[in-house]
Amino acid sequence: MKHDILITDFNKTAKQTVNHPSFKNHLDIHLNLSVSTLVDEAIENGEGILTDTGAFMCDTGKFTGRSPKDKFIVYDDKTADTVAWGEINQAFDGNNFDKLYQKMLDFTTDKKLYARYSYACASEKHRTNILVINTLAWHNLFCHHLFLRPTEKEIENFEPEWTILNIPEFQAGPTIDNTRESNFTIIDFTKKIILIGGTGYAGEMKKGIFSVLNYILPEEKKVLSMHCSANIGKDGDTALFFGLSGTGKTTLSADPYRQLIGDDEHGWDENEVFNFEGGCYAKVVNLSQEQEPEIFGAIRYGTILENTRFTNGSNAVDYGNQSVTENTRTAYPINYIPNIANPSIGTSPKNIFFLSADSFGVLPPISKLNVEQAMYYFLSGYTAKLAGTEMGVKEPQATFSACFGAAFLPLAPKKYAELLGKKIETGDVNVWLVNTGWSGGGFGVGSRMKIAYTRAMIRAALNGDFENISFNKHEIFGLEMPQTCPNVPEE
């Protein structure tokens, strides 16, 4: 079944009853408002302003990135022996969750709320229905863009499975509510509720659902969930791009010669790759039309810009301005990109790329991995956290994030690695390690890899241009490195 990727515009102003017991009788709740209405509401509420392209520009407040230390999972009979508990997956008491949930509901009693029916997973057999409740209009617009959009007919009998309640202005009391700070994200897998408070960073919502899918798909359906982008060529060959935020997943998968399946989150079942989302959430620091034309062209009416600033005396965005954060971002529906797969589904991949922003300038620009090496690099997930993607990160920091997404993995990393290993072996998949970081020396000495060179190397791999080229074996890592590549200087 083809899902609807068009911007919904069938509900402009009406207050409606929401199919959820906690919000059924709320007096001021607005369901599935159109893009234009949400933009108008956000401007009227003082949440942001329009740029010269018509995009809606806003600030996320104190938090300009995720806060992983303030993310929790409710510990109960369902999660006790399945979640990999530790620093990443912190346990939260179920009774404390119930009390906090009630406090948040009480807080919303006299508030205007924005509700949205949406879903995750483009594959119909894995579809997960979601109800989002927001106090900010632009947050609801964000969810319109990033989650998949049901049709008007589907909404008539919509049954939410998961609920997100997001109230940025609600501050928890750590000593009373047993949170670490006043901000929090808490997932209850039994009640199927995500609570978010104290932070205006919209990415917490999409990553909350990503964490949910990273639990239910491998654990309950034996489907590999992946922190990767994906695209597909004219001959039906799918490619996956794994990497942490800032390593190039969104940029490199937006290729004018290939159809975009999705830019961040995917599942891989027996014979297909499918997008979890309905939009893109891309970094825009130093964005230019020349280097990233697809993303640049997507910034128009309806698009959201976070934490950017204007050029003096105008309402034109200065993408080089990092005065708020380096983690400036844009959110837009996937159909704002001109060349997309519809539906957002592809075949099992022929090529997989591990993107590592190596801040030491050690890794070669591109190298081919055997199965053993692929499993090693997938489990280690070496890259650098780039400035702004998490609170407190001011310059690149070397990190090892299992499966290139440890922050979002409720299960033990080996669970995902075992699924991937079997698929690589049985599917005869080419795996490549690509350094999107520094060359000629580390951060502060060398220079960041040019996007044009990285694109050329990836296209060479996809087109089979390395098949008749000699490879050198790295004396330390054992990596197979091509000696030459079309359109890339040999040095």
Active site residues: 66, 207, 227, 245, 249-250, 264, 329
What is the DSSP annotation of 398-445? EEE-GGG-GGG--S-HHHHHHHHHHHHHHHT-EEEEEE-SEESSSTTT
Residue among 268, 219, 221 at smallest CA distance from 84: 219
- Considering only the C-alpha atoms of the chain, give the largest distance between any 2 of them, rounded to a whole number of Å: 69
Beta bridge partners of 403: none
List the structure tokens of 86. 């530790």
List the structure tokens of 173. 């009391």
Plot region of 414 (φ>0 → left; ψ -120 to 50 → alpha; else → beta): alpha
Q: List all residues 6 or more positions away from 164 whose beta carbon is below 8 Å from its beta carbon.
A: 130, 131, 132, 133, 143, 193, 194, 196, 205, 208, 209
The CA distance from 453 to 86, in Å, is: 39
390: which DSSP letter?
A: B
Could you tell me if 57 and 319 are in contact, meaning their C-beta atoms sit under 8 angstroms apart? no
Placement of tokens 């964005």 in the chain: 287
Torsional sign, CA 354, 360, 362, 364: positive
Q: CB-side exposure of 77: number of CA atoms within 13 Å? A: 1
Placement of tokens 């700070």 in the chain: 181
Could you tell me if 396 and 383 are in contact, meaning their C-beta atoms sit under 8 angstroms apart? no
Q: List all residues 6 or more positions away from 421 whose beta carbon is below 8 Å from its beta carbon.
A: 371, 374, 375
Helix axes 371-380, 413-427, angle to 10 degrees: 150
Residue among 265, 22, 16, 299 at smallest CA distance from 122: 265
Could you tell me if 190 and 216 are in contact, meaning their C-beta atoms sit under 8 angstroms apart? no
